[in-house]
Amino acid sequence: MGIADSKPIRKPNLAASKSDFTLNDNFEGDQLKSQWAFFEELDTNRFHFANSSLSVKAKGNSIGNSSPLLCIPEDHSYTVDVEMLIEGKATGGLVLFYNSSAFSGILADSENVLANLRGWQVEAEKDVVKKHVFLRLKNMNNTVDMYYSTNGIKWNKIQNSFEVSGMHHNVLSEFLSLRIGLCSIGEGNVTFKNFKYKRIN
């Protein structure tokens, strides 16, 4: 073979491997994709798929006890968007989630856009939602800005932002990671569509 184990071995001249894996999800089919997991539970009676969307029955009264649907981001800086339809007295959200006591993000009920900063929740924009809204988080090196849109084209940045550099095991323990979460809180249902993840270089 002409190889001596006492000398460096030439690297094979092979094409770089490529993967078509993506966090983007249009919720087609009838099963959750591999990147998703509900926090601390899997209640298959709580969600269902229909018409390229995922409907999740509302639960709890806060992000922390709503058992959000989570996925792990692939990059330090990224944007993530989701479209939501609100039914009943539910509140839907797009959040960054470490555990049931450490989370922040943007939410909406049937009328208002809300900001949640480590559990402190305020109405960021009143009477701008009519049961249908698009939400966005932009995480730039651990500083996160929040946006909403009523049509998925024109985005409005809310005043609030948050910082997540301290949301890791050395500060919060439990050997978890900071994850992107979709929340369905309260009473009713939240339907999610067109989950989009984009790396920021």
Question: Percent of the chain scored above 90 by pLDDT?
Answer: 82
- Tell me whether residue 6 is in a domain: no
Residues 85-114: tens digit of each pLDDT: 999 999 999 999 999 999 999 999 999 999
- Tell me whether residue 23 is in a domain: no
- Tell me whether residue 93 is in a domain: yes
- Tell me whether residue 20 is in a domain: no
Residues whose CB is less than 8 angstroms from the CB of residue 191 and which lie 6 or more positions away in sequence, other chains included: 53, 54, 55, 56, 84, 85, 87
CATH number, residue 111: 2.60.120.200
Predicted TM-score (pTM) of the model is 0.89
- Tell me whether residue 32 is in a domain: no
Cα(32)–Cα(46) distance, rounded to whole angstroms? 13
- Map residue 54 onto helix, strand or coil: strand
- Tell me whether residue 184 is in a domain: yes
- Tell me whether residue 24 is in a domain: no
Expressed in angstroms, the distance from the first to the final Cα of the chain is: 43
Which domain covers residue 117, as residue numbers? 37-199
Number of structural domains found in the chain:
1
pLDDT attached to residue 13: 84
